[in-house]
Amino acid sequence: MKPFTMYIIGLSGSGKSTLAEALAERLHKKGAPVEVIDGDVLRQELGDMFGYTREDRIKQGRVGWVLARHLNRNGISVLIAATAGCQDVRERAREFIGEGYLQVYLDCPIEECIRRDVKGYYKDVSKLKNFYGIDMKYDVPEDSELTVDTVHLSVEQSAGQVMSYLEENGFC
């Protein structure tokens, strides 16, 4: 198995954290060393030192990229669950992480994300600024290795699709 960093991206509520955890469980069962870096958890664990401006989002993202690159160098694969709403930032992540970078876009319309709203973000959206899909445009990626339709696929089906990709491309 060769280590990789999978950037699981999409709007808040698209299923990034859920898919990352399901994939981690499957990879662990295969004996693959893997870590999950969840953007929301990282923000909280860093003491909310980053806000939601574009610059703060880039800085927080870079923390995840640095961790991922170091873990990959030590043979550990990484699943980063993050909104990552700007194409240029994702390109920088791809370049920074380098070999083994994989991008998985979770395709889920804003209406479905609002309906799910497991973290309560959309409920308080009138109080938030710089929120992707509401007052900030989300750049839908055209360069993802894989796009997963989380509206029509269950978590198990989505994880299965990603695992098939990993197996077919020699990552596990």
For 111-144, the pLDDT digits (tens) are: 999 898 877 777 776 666 777 777 788 999 999 9
CA distance linking residue 77 with residue 79, whole number of Å: 7
List CB contacts of 133: < 8 A, sequence separation 6 or more.
11, 12, 110, 113
Question: C-alpha dihedral over 130, 119, 138, 62, to 10 degrees?
Answer: 80
φ and ψ at residue 58, rounded to 5 degrees: -65, -45
Query: For residue 51, what pLDDT band results from cuts at 50, 70 and 90?
Result: confident
Q: What is the pLDDT of residue 34?
A: 98
pTM, two decimal places: 0.92
Average pLDDT, the chain: 91
Q: Is the pLDDT of residue 82 over 90?
A: yes
Average of per-residue pLDDT across 83-89: 92
Length of the chain: 172
List CB contacts of 105: < 8 A, sequence separation 6 or more.
9, 10, 140, 141, 144, 146, 147, 148
Q: Is the pLDDT of residue 145 over 80?
A: yes
**CA within 13 Å, CB half, 95:** 6
Q: What is the pLDDT of residue 55?
A: 86
Beta bridge partners of 9: 82, 105
Least Cα distance to 102 among 74, 72, 132 occurs for: 72
Least Cα distance to 69 among 51, 92, 47, 88 occurs for: 92
